[in-house]
Amino acid sequence: MKIEISKMLQKKKKQVLDLWMKNQLKDANLREDLMSNDELRVQSEELVDALLKKLTDENLADIESADFENVYEILSGISITRARQGFSPRETGTFVFSLKEALFETLQQELKGDPVALYDVTMKVNKLIDSFGIVTFETFIKGREEVILRQTDEITEISTPVIRVWDGILALPIIGTLDSARTQVVMESLLQEIVNTSSSIAILDISGVPAVDSLVAQHLIKTVSATRLMGAECIISGIRPEIAQTVVHLGIDLSNVITKSSLSSALKHAFSVLQLEVRKKQKENYSLKNM
């Protein structure tokens, strides 16, 4: 005689849910501060409902069955809302796993006289709920990954700001390592900005570049040549003493490029090229004019 486990569980839905709720409310780690008991009941009921509605004796052993799609969706939803409410992944996982105990207890009452069947169904349910628990983790990680991807995009966007420091003078502070992809972005935004502002001097500040190897130097030289082709002069500033020594040992020839140790000296040079003079206001002249 074979008992239909799924039918039996569906009949006992109320009992399963009550048992599950009882277990959850008993748990010392219940987060009443994050979720009220009523909300918790609604969430639990939704999950038990969806699970038992789709559960048959065939798909009980098949965790990848399409019947469970709805359940997986609900689980993802629960994982996302719980993550937003401030639950840790462990708490969400425990929430799903605790359904096991309720199911086992019900099954045990029903299958008292048939240990072989009980063992069999217990193993299956175990696997199924484990898979459900993993889904909540996957959803959590996926959410995190999306945040990381978005931030990566944002970082590339904000990491190459072209600043107009004066009429006709652009400055571009480079922070971090210059690789080929980054150089492309830097060069593009710099050349575009030269056109937009019709600037004649661009200052590349590399104080934030940790090490200048031959690849970085090559990228810098390329950027300088491209700027020259646009009719603008390029100054590289922010060359620290240790960088200067390393560049010399490497044998990189930067003698064709105007280099300065600091952004302010580069700016001073730019002023003199543009024949601008910046000086303190003379008080005496001021009073003479007013006489």
Contact positions vs another protein (CB under 8 A): 177, 179, 210-215, 217-218, 241-243, 245-246, 249-252
Candidates 57, 87, 77; CA nearest to 132 is 77
The distance from CA 70 to its chain's CA centroid, rounded to whole angstroms, is 28
- The least distance separating another protein from the CB of residue 223, rounded to whole angstroms, comes to 15
- The least distance separating another protein from the CB of residue 177, rounded to whole angstroms, comes to 5
- Determine the Cα–Cα distance for residues 156 and 188; give it in Å rounded to an integer: 13
Tokens of 236: 């590289």
Q: Which is nearer to another protein, 42 or 215 (CB)?
A: 215
Q: Which is nearer to another protein, 217 or 236 (CB)?
A: 217
Rounding to the nearest 10 degrees, give the CA dihedral for residues 247, 249, 255, 256.
-60
- The least distance separating another protein from the CB of residue 155, rounded to whole angstroms, comes to 13
Q: State the CB neighbour count (10 A cutoff) for residue 89.
A: 16
Burial class of 237 by CB neighbour count within 10 A (0 to 12, 13 to 18, 19+): buried
Q: Which is nearer to another protein, 73 or 213 (CB)?
A: 213
Q: Which is nearer to another protein, 6 or 183 (CB)?
A: 183
- Determine the Cα–Cα distance for residues 97 and 134; give it in Å rounded to an integer: 10
- Determine the Cα–Cα distance for residues 45 and 26; give it in Å rounded to an integer: 17
Q: Which is nearer to another protein, 4 or 213 (CB)?
A: 213
- Determine the Cα–Cα distance for residues 75 and 143; give it in Å rounded to an integer: 14
- The least distance separating another protein from the CB of residue 212, rounded to whole angstroms, comes to 7
Q: Which is nearer to another protein, 163 or 250 (CB)?
A: 250
Q: What are phi and psi of 176, to 5 degrees?
A: 100, -170
The two beta strands, 233-237 and 163-166, are unpaired
Q: Which is nearer to another protein, 163 or 215 (CB)?
A: 215
- The least distance separating another protein from the CB of residue 50, rounded to whole angstroms, comes to 41
Q: Which is nearer to another protein, 124 or 182 (CB)?
A: 182
What SS3 state is found at 168?
coil
- The least distance separating another protein from the CB of residue 261, rounded to whole angstroms, comes to 15
Sorted by sequence, the CB contacts under 8 Å of residue 220 that are 6+ apart come out as 178, 204, 206, 212, 236, 254, 257
